[in-house]
């Protein structure tokens, strides 16, 4: 049903947690986004086995769940690192130096956009707009927003996140 390139194995204990979350919304298709956001805090990706559990517990088709997940850039069927760095690619960020900030992050982490570091610590993504143009250029690391960035501030941020929970 799903594309094999996105088939990852999720631990049985994580699938139990996914089932517990999704079962609270049986028959509530309009709550799928809420379920998926909660589930992404439990599992590294919305892999085929995770989509199957969500679909079963909510009474939806697995194709519906997969189509929903792949429609939104913020959601992912591929595993992410502990920290997901999302760089805003809007015009205001671009004009104010987003390219240089992203180049600095890419160089420091040794990965490209769409990749995860070998230690599963960082994933880099680009998104169309974070909606915070007044403090551009902006990145979001997990749920934290950082604005008015330049290459030096970006270096300090990456160093800070590298020191956390080492």
CA gap 147, 153 in Å, rounded? 9
C-beta of residue 159 within 8 angstroms of C-beta of residue 104: no
Q: Percentage of the chain surpassing pLDDT 90?
A: 56
User: pLDDT band for position 3 (50/70/90)?
Assistant: very low
Residue 2: pLDDT band (50, 70, 90) is: very low
- The strand pairing partners of 84, in sequence order, are 123
- Average pLDDT of every residue of the chain: 87
Give pLDDT tens digits for 137-152: 999 998 899 999 999 9
83-163: CATH number: 3.40.30.10
* β-strand pairing of 139-141 with 83-88: antiparallel
Averaged pLDDT, 20-41 = 93
pLDDT of residue 79: 74
Give every CB contact of residue 35 below 8 A, 6+ residues apart in sequence: 21, 22, 25, 54, 58
When mean pLDDT is compared across 43-57, 68-82, 140-154, the lowest value belongs to 68-82
Domain boundaries, the chain: 4-71, 83-163
pLDDT at 73: 67
pLDDT (tens digit, 9 = 90+) per residue, 96-123?
999 999 999 999 999 999 898 999 899 9
Q: pTM for this one?
A: 0.69
């Amino acid at each position: 049903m799903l594309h094999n390139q996105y088939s990852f194995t999720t631990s049985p204990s994580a699938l139990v947690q996914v089932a517990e979350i999704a079962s609270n919304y049986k028959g509530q298709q309009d709550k799928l986004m809420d379920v998926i956001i909660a589930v992404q805090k439990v599992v590294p990706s919305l892999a085929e086995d995770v989509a199957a559990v969500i679909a079963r517990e909510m009474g939806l088709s697995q194709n519906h769940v997969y189509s929903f997940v792949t429609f939104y850039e913020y959601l992912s069927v591929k595993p992410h690192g502990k920290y997901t760095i999302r760089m805003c690619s809007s015009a205001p960020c671009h004009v104010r130096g987003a390219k240089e900030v992203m180049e600095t992050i890419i160089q420091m982490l040794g990965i490209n956009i769409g990749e995860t570091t070998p230690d599963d610590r960082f994933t880099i993504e680009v998104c169309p707009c974070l909606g915070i143009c007044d403090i551009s250029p902006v990145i979001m690391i997990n749920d934290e927003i950082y604005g008015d960035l330049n290459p030096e501030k970006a270096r300090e941020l990456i160093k800070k996140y590298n020191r956390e929970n080492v």
